[in-house]
A = this chain, B = another copy of it.
Amino acid sequence: MNTLTKTNKAGEKISPAVIRRLPRYRSYLSDLQNSGIERISSDKLSGMMGYTASQIRQDLNNFGGFGQQGYGYNVALLNNEIAEILGLNKHYKMVIVGAGHLGTAITNYISVYRREFEIRAMFDIKRELIDTEISGIRVRDIADLEAVLKEEHIDIGVITTSRKSAQAIADVFVEGEIYGIWNFAAIDVSVPEHVALKVVHLSDSLHELVYYVNNRDNPSFQK
């Protein structure tokens, strides 16, 4: 797997802010492509996405000369290039630890994208869950996690356990040389510099929404 940092055409590292926007570009470009639209201007993308046209031009300028003055971006080309930059044209092996409501949800959700993301196994500590199947994936005993990580190379580990178990699971992932961790447990786990980590805090998001539901005149609203 390529572990070299992507650079832009000037040889500079692409900033995390740009990286964070890339999946969004990809979503919109995929929609355009599915609708049979071949070219799009930065102005039109701006109208759809809410970023300024100059922001869009600056972002996409990182990746080569896709835009032609007065002619717009080639939708399919740009979409494919962004997928390649993100690494979405590869295949990733995943394991999910935690086969409760959230783990099941994530498994169902990911199963739609089998081509890119293959869930090799799910794990739980609860006896009543072990050996059940979720979206065709067998739930295994958490005691087997280490062995599975040793046997086959897993790229991404997903944590959907309680806060209490999350750091221990992350440690096993790191020990098992997993490349990236997707953490849904409502706790920040620590991992070494060389392990990628993204966090989704569902309950934090809902609780923040509830605050704003109760304080709807707050002008500093987080939209």
Q: Interface residues, chain A, CB within 8 Å of chain B? A: 1-6, 13, 15-16, 19-20, 22-24, 26-28, 31, 49-50, 85-88, 90, 92, 101-102, 104-106, 108-112, 117, 155-156, 163-164, 179-180, 182, 186-188, 190-191, 193-223
Contacts and interface: CB of A to CB of B under 8 A. Distances in A.
A2 B26 CA distance: 40
11 contacts: A6-B215, A6-B218, A20-B222, A23-B186, A23-B208, A49-B188, A88-B207, A101-B111, A101-B112, A182-B209, A193-B221
A221 B16 contact: yes
Contact of A187 (B22, B27, B202, B218): B27
B222 A16 contact: yes
A163 B196 contact: no
Contacts of A206: 110, 117, 182, 198
A197 B217 contact: no
A55 to B, nearest CB: 14
A159 to B, nearest CB: 12
A87 B213 contact: yes
B88 A215 contact: no
B104 A210 contact: no
A172 to B, nearest CB: 18
Contacts of A204: 20, 23-24, 27
Contacts of A16: 218, 220-222
A195 B213 CA distance: 7
Contacts of A31: 163-164
B105 A207 contact: no
Given A87-B210, A204-B23, A5 B217 contact: yes
